[in-house]
Amino acid sequence: MKKLSVKKEHIREIFRSFNNLNVLIIGDVMIDSYLWGKVNRISPEAPVPIVTVSKKERRLGGAANVALNIQALGANPILCSVIGVDHEGLALLDLLKSQRLSQKGILKCRDRITTVKTRVIGNNSQLLRVDEEVEEDIEPSETQQLLTLISYIIQHDKIDVIIFEDYNKGMITPRLISKVVELAKSKRIPTCVDPKKKNFNAYKGVSLFKPNLKELKEGLKLDIGGDNIPELQKAVSSFRVKQKAETILVTLADKGVITNSRKVKEHIPAHVRSIADVSGAGDTVISVASLCRALECKDALTAAISNLSGGLVCEQVGVVPIDKDLLLEEALKLDFVK
């Protein structure tokens, strides 16, 4: 990071400019449902704890959490996803409405259910998670409906960046990826990806590809530790060239991030923080990185601010969007900011 020198006013201008951006988020949405309670005894029916529920909560999850982060950063998110024609689908639409998020990119499919992840928490510890979901790919006809919807949004809204938020729930298919990337290139819209294993190699020609270390190792069948930065950079460079990706940003948890493009190969160490919960950190990192990409920030600067944002949300318990003012305050303290 020695080569990078950025004025404080430039950082402030970047954060102000977030407010002018429209972001299309394509990905799997879900409801994160919580049952909170106390455990005082074991069930007489089976050796399991009995949770006396004191609070129920439903939050937007998956790609919708990326939308919440984009919104928290001051930009305008447009979410494009698939839900079921069911009670949970209506509940998700209500949650979008209460957060003032647009529903125009949401496609309702009769043969699918809305994804819900229910966490049972007793005495502040998670005891059980119940997933209601379908993981098979959506039908070709539904992919076509999504493509028509995405094309319409791109034609009628000024889209500054597209995010693929893949949770392996079957909404994002190889055909959807290739068609959207092709359309984005024709409109000169950058494409950013938060991948999962199934479609890992399907994202050809994207602007920014952001796996975490586990996803990178699974996707490339690597056996390299997060502290072996030279070998990681070598593997990432090879993958970047093969995929024709412009930049790859890999999050390494407590080892920070690496950024890899044709011109820049940097490792940015993590900031020392008290980690409370890593949930949702990847959603925050892709949100910040995508907005920086839309503003054509330098790769090293994008990586540094994104790295910072991931660390900040890990200090909070549960999945929470980034605090923009706090992120700006911390970004102004980075050692290369003058």
Residues annotated as catalytic (active site), given as ranges: 283
**Exposed e or buried b for every residue in 310-338, given b needs 16+ CB within 10 A?**
bbbbbebeebbbbbbeebbebbeebeebe
**Exposed e or buried b for every residue in 18-47, given b needs 16+ CB within 10 A?**
beebbbbbbbbbbbbbbbbbebeeeeeeee
Residue 278: half-sphere exposure toward Cβ, Cα within 13 Å:
7
Contact 290, 272 (CB under 8 A): no
- Judged by phi (left if over 0) then psi (alpha if -120 to 50, else beta), residue 244 lies in left
How many Cβ atoms are within 10 Å of 242's Cβ, its own excluded? 11
What sign does the CA torsion over 293, 103, 93, 195 have? negative
